[in-house]
Each structure stands twice: as structure tokens, then as C-alpha cells.
Amino acid sequence: MKKMSVHQLAVDVMNQTPITIIDVRSTEQYDNWKIDKDPISVVHIPITSLTSDKAHVQDELLEKKVLVVGMNEADSKQAAGEVEDHLSIECFFLAGGINEWHDYVEPIKVGTLSDGGEIYQFVRLGKGCLSYMVISQAMALVVDPIANIQPYLDFAEDNGFTIAHVVDTHLHGDHISGASMIADEMEVTYYISSIDAQGAEIPYESLTPHSFIEVGNTNIPVEVIATPGHTQGSISLLIDEHYLLMGDTMFADGVGRPTIEKDGESVIHQLYETLYSRLRHLPEDCMTFPAHFSHLSDLNTEGFFGGALKELISSNSLLQKNAKNEFIQSINTNIEEEPTSHQAIRNANLGLSHPDEKERMSLELGPNRCSITES
């Protein structure tokens, strides 16, 4: 058997390399959270059932690379050995197991600024989170980072950048943010809307609509745009007048799930105004990037998540409603119940609680439910 790194798995997944994953975790662990089956093949067979399910597994493996995953590297390696013994096939085991895959991020260049700077999308394939690094004149702005902050620090150091600012586009409810952690580590300012940060016990500077963040000693504008709806304080960042980092406002196949706050109905009305008015005053050819994705099939033909604003609007059925009440009815029909962990995560992101690594992993289990799609 051979070891496969999480980086290699990320490359295979994003390149749609034919691969079959045998997930040998317990049924409870698998049901809580799993590797996206689209566009790869995933077979769940608890290690105790390998012999009885032998024929079924072999049918799945024809002409494909086989990867065995468990909770950690030791489980993955042991299970891979048993798979080879039971099924007489050669396979890989995942370095670090599911635990490492859950936190791994893959940086992808998605844009070039007018001064020669760059924008990178950091893809967390295991959770569907997307974060960003905007680089200009060797200075960097990090947007919506996850709690595993080392990849951002390493990427900046390896490429000669200095992280100067860090931003959350909104108060995250599906994962622990790494924004304040990076701010502490790099001794820089953490920005978030004061509306979302009410009651926070961590230092931050409020972002206000139409203000600008300077990245490097250049004229590259990073404009703050109010886009409430997912949360009351949600903001988007228009960079270099062409790249829009829009948090959880809109996705390839849906829109941001309105966070139920003191007046949930007003948040839905705000979401409508953002989607049907504010966004449509922006340049229709600007490249738009969300903070999450739902499926690997959301990857565009250029190999990243996002696209031109006009195209995303025209292909999104929730943005084609003829009247406001029709939009609100569709939102209420398709909205799912919020996971109970979301309030605990928001409390952690406000600095009101301090979960350790094990508690963080437990809170973040399961797919993100920040999006509403029309069924």
C-alpha cells in the first residue's frame, strides 16, 4: 500500500481524476460528515463488513485509483492493509485521515490586479469553505480564514508576503473563524461589521459601507459594500473595481441562508434588497467569489469557484422571481432548520467561548448549511 497526501487527494478531486474512496469509519461517523461524492465515487463500508461486501466493492473499483480513509492516519493505514488482504487489490491510505482532510486548504490563483498583484482562493474541500488572500506590493489582505491559520501564514512567508489586514465578511455560524487568530499572530487589525460583532469580547475595527482598505502602498481600492441578508451586518469587498468577495450573500446555485436574529423577517427583506437591488448596481462583468460552495461540481471550467456576476445571476433561479413576495415564499419553502451548533460557533467567533481543537472539530461536523437552493 502507498500513502496519499491530502494535497494529492485535493489535486485528484479538483482535476476529476477517476478515484474510488473506501470510507471505513463507523456508520455514525460517516453519516455525520463525509467526503463529497460528486464527482468521485465514495463507498462506505465499515471495516468489519469488508469481507461480506467484497463483491460490491470490487464492482466499484474497476479501472480506478483506490483510496482508503479512516478517522486518522493510523486507522487509514490499518484499514488499507485489510482492504488489500480481503480484496486482493492495491490501494492508497490517506495521510492524516479524515481529520486532516477536514482542515486542509488548497490555494488557487483566481485573479491578477491592475498593479500586478494577485488574488488567491483558498479552498477547504472537506467543509466547503472558501477564503481569500489579496496581495499587492508584497502586502496581503486575508478574507474569511478558517481556524487552521497555518496555511495562510506559510503561504505568505513562502512567497515573501506580509499579512497586513484580516477581514470577516460576516459573523460565521458554520465554522470557527481564524481571523482574530491571524490578527493576534501578526499584530494586525481584524475587521468585521460592528452590527455582526455586537457583544464581541475580541478586539476589532468596524467596517462601514463605502469605506476603503489599503493593501500595500498602491492605489488598489478595496471597497466595503453593505450586503445584508445572510446576517444583518454582512459586507462584500469590491477589489480593484473588478473582483467581488461576497461572503455568503450568493452562491453558484443558491443564496445566503438568512440568519434568524431578533427579527428574522426583516433579514429576509434585506436579503431581497441586496440580491435584487444592491448587487445589480455593480459592474455585471465583475468576477464574483463566494465564501462557500455546496458541491464539487460548482467548480467552473477555469478550476475555481465563482464567475461573472451577470452569469451567476442569470443562472440562479432564486434571482429570477417576478415579485418580492414570490422570492420570500421560495426562501421560506426551501430553508432548512439551522443546526444547533451554529449559535455555539457564533459565540466562539465573538470570543464568548474558547473551544479546544477537539471541541472545534465536533462543532464543525457536517456540511455547511449557509445556502438556500430551490428544489
Q: Are 124 and 131 in contact (CB under 8 A)?
A: yes
Q: What is the pLDDT confidence band of residue 216, given thresholds at 50, 70 and 90?
A: confident
Query: Rounded to whole angstroms, how far apart are CA atoms 40 and 42?
Result: 7
- Predicted local distance difference test score (pLDDT) of residue 39: 63
* pLDDT single digits (tens) 118-176: 999 999 988 889 999 999 989 999 999 999 999 999 999 999 999 999 999 999 999 99
Q: What is the pLDDT confidence band of residue 374, given thresholds at 50, 70 and 90?
A: confident
Q: Are 367 and 130 in contact (CB under 8 A)?
A: no
Residue 26 vs residues 3, 43, 166, 235: alpha-carbon distances, Å: 22, 13, 38, 40
Find the mean pLDDT for residues 335-349.
89
- Predicted local distance difference test score (pLDDT) of residue 63: 59
Query: Rounded to whole angstroms, how far apart are CA atoms 186 and 297?
Result: 36
Q: What is the pLDDT confidence band of residue 221, given thresholds at 50, 70 and 90?
A: confident
What lies within 8 Å, CB to CB, of 228 at 6+ separation is 195, 234, 267, 270, 271, 273, 274
Q: Are 143 and 132 in contact (CB under 8 A)?
A: yes
Query: Does 180 score more than 60 pLDDT?
Result: yes
Q: What is the pLDDT confidence band of residue 309, given thresholds at 50, 70 and 90?
A: very high
Transcribe 132-183 into DSSP letters: EEEEETTEEEEES-BS--HHHHHHHHHTT-EEEEEE-SS--SSS-B-HHHHH
- Predicted local distance difference test score (pLDDT) of residue 65: 84
Q: Are 145 and 154 in contact (CB under 8 A)?
A: no
Q: What type of residue sits at position 62?
A: L
Residue 277 class from Cβ within 10 Å (0-12 exposed, 13-18 middle, 19+ buried)? exposed
Q: What type of residue sits at position 21?
A: I
Chain centroid to CA 63: how far?
31
- Predicted local distance difference test score (pLDDT) of residue 295: 81
Nearest CA to 279 out of 240, 308, 253 is that of 308
Query: Rounded to whole angstroms, how far apart are CA atoms 114 and 117?
Result: 7
Query: Rounded to whole angstroms, how far apart are CA atoms 86 and 33?
Result: 26
Could you tell me the domains of the chain? 2-101 (3.40.250.10), 105-363 (3.60.15.10)
Find the mean pLDDT for residues 303-327.
94
Transcribe 76-118 into DSSP letters: HHHHHHHHHHHH----EEETTHHHHHHH--EEEEEEE-TTS-E
Nearest CA to 118 out of 170, 156, 151 is that of 156
* pLDDT single digits (tens) 224-273: 999 999 999 999 999 999 999 999 999 988 999 987 654 556 688 999 99
pLDDT > 90 in the chain, percent: 59
- Predicted local distance difference test score (pLDDT) of residue 42: 86
- Predicted local distance difference test score (pLDDT) of residue 243: 96
* pLDDT single digits (tens) 34-90: 877 666 788 888 877 766 665 566 665 555 788 999 989 999 999 899 888 877 788
- Predicted local distance difference test score (pLDDT) of residue 1: 84
